Every structure is written in C-alpha cells, then in structure tokens.
Amino acid sequence: MGANSRYLNFYQGTPVLVTGGSGAIGSNLCRALAGLGATVVALDDLSSSDRSSVADLPNCVLVEGGVTDQAALDQVFGFKPRVVFHLAALFANQNSVDHPERDLLVNGLGTLKVLQSARLAGADRVVYASSSSLVGATTAQMPITEEALSTELHTPYQITKLLGELYANYFKNYYKYQTVRVRFFNSYGPGELPGPYRNVIPNFVYTAMQRQPLCITGNGDETRDWTYVGDIVDGLLRAAVFDTAVGELFNLASSTETRVRDLALWINEITGNDAGIVHTARRDWDTHSRRWASIAKAKRLLGYEPQTDLYAGLQKTVTWFRENWPDIQSRVRG
C-alpha cells in the first residue's frame, strides 16, 4: 500500500464505521481494515449488495439498515467509531435518472444524517465519498484538478454527490468538524458485480466470459481514468489519518487516461473472448468524452501513489470472476 505505511498502525484496535460496507468499494475497505486490526462496523441496506461480501471478516459486524434510518444509525454509532467512511449511496447516474426522489433521499438526506450522527456521537472524522461525475465535462481542463467544477450537471446523482460535498464543507465551516472529501474516478476490481446500474468493467467482463460482443456506448474514443479498488482503499485509509487531509478535497484516481475501445480489447484478450465489439449511441446524460485526473494534491498531502496499472488490475478482476463464477451468475440472475 505504498512506501510509507506507518499511517496503517493507526487502525490497530480502532473502531471504524463504513456505510455501504458490503458494496464493491466498502467490502474491500472493510477487508483492509479488518486485516489491520480495526474493529469494523459495516452499515448496509443490502439493496445492491450481499452480506456474504463481509460475512467472513474478523472483527467486523454487519448491521442491515439504511443511512436514512435513524434507528440503524443510532445502533451503529452506539459502537462509538472514531472514524466514519461514508460510502453508502444510491449508485449510478442512470439509476438516479430512473429514481430521482430515492436518489435525493439516500444521497442527500442520508449524508446529512450521517454527518449529524457522527458529530453527536463524538466520531473524530468523516471521510465522504464523492464522485468525479459531478465535474463538468465541457469546462474541465486536463488533467482534472480538485478545483474543476460545473453547475451544468446532467443527472440527479451528480447533483446529490455535489450536495454531499457541500454538506461536508458546512460541517467543517460551521461546527469546525473534521471532514474530508474524496472523489472516486471509475473504481473497479474484485467484488463488483455486473448489472444494469453497474460500472462498465464488471459488465464487460461478465459479457466477455459469456463469449458475447462487448457493447460500447459511443465510438470508443471516449476516455476514463480507471482506478483499481485497492488504490482507492489506500487513499481512503490515508484520508482518515493524515492531519493534512482535514477540510480538503482529493481526487483518488490512477492519473492514466485510457480509451474505452482499448479497455474492451484488453478484456476480450484477457478472457479469450473472440466475439469482438459492437457500438450503440451514447446515453443522453453522458457528456463526458474524457476523464483524466490530477492526483498531485493527494500525492503531496497524503503520499497517495497508485500501485496497480489497468491491465494488471483487469487480470486480477477476471481472476476473481473466474473463481466466483457460479455465485456471480446466480446473483446476477436473481
């Protein structure tokens, strides 16, 4: 997890809360925390995940409930966590377009309630998981810095993720409370299932393993900054410990720009899929032709340094799919 690992000692015996703890990033974070000797409480309503993702972890308790449920929040904050990683969200742009009210409830009110509960329970710090999708595609210079922002947003998810950042800032400014905001850039890796509201990589891998053509929405020249989940987790662990993180906003990314077409070709190559690629029209809300993040600030203030390049990360992801293939098929089919 990087050259300087002394910050990891902080977690030994430390009570930590992870909202969205059984999700793709959350379960990987819980696994890392348990391995570091933390006492972990994972809160998740299991609407888009499964309790099995954290069931085998030592020193980890899963509480089933949502971030808008005050009784569930009272229960998890009763463990008196020192650090809160707020990852729970109604995920995905298309999901928010289809369910805008639920998006506002979970991502807006839920974030406010987590911040309120954390402060009142005496938690030292909340690390809020935001999204690179709220950055305006047409106005952002490359690479994208933390200052890049646009109010010309195209989905409720983008709006509510920005709202969460503003709430975190409010608690920092009004209550002098320790909050840190991190923007994820296209996280991927083991533990993430395919599905209609899921990210492109698990859907591509799932399709490729069924020997079907990969469908690109666009011409394939669109780029993204895909970031391996292990690197995302390391950035989160750093953000909760370093004093230099307090009140700041960080990009957590690989800082490498890759075309969607190249991604699809690599996945077909790794899986041995010879069905090729097909193209469809881009989705109405998808205005982001390029994604390439600057991680200079995270490097400078957190010592953040991604360790896994995209091809190696894809190999690890495909290996996880192969090892869990029957279970993945069963869960996808419901």
Could you tell me the two tokens for 309? 């390049």
203 part of a folded domain: no
* Residue span of the structural domain in which 116 resides: 8-188+226-255+286-308
Of 318, 281, 282, the C-alpha closest to 207 is 318
Residue 125 lies in a domain: yes
- pLDDT tens-digit map of 102-128: 999 999 999 999 999 999 999 999 999
Residue 180 lies in a domain: yes
Q: How far apart are CA 319 and CA 148, in angstroms?
A: 36
Q: In whole angstroms, how far apart are CA 108 and each of 9, 39, 113, 125, 126?
A: 33, 28, 9, 19, 15
Out of 56-65, 140-149, 304-313, least confident range? 140-149
Overall number of domains in the chain = 1
Q: State pTM to two decimals.
A: 0.95
- The mean of the pLDDT values for the chain is 94
**pLDDT in the model for residue 3:** 45
Give domain status of residue 21, yes or no: yes
Do the domain assignments include residue 278? Answer: no
List, for residues 242-297, the tens digit of each pLDDT value: 999 999 999 999 999 999 999 999 999 999 999 999 999 877 767 678 889 999 99
Q: Residue 182: which CATH number?
A: 3.40.50.720
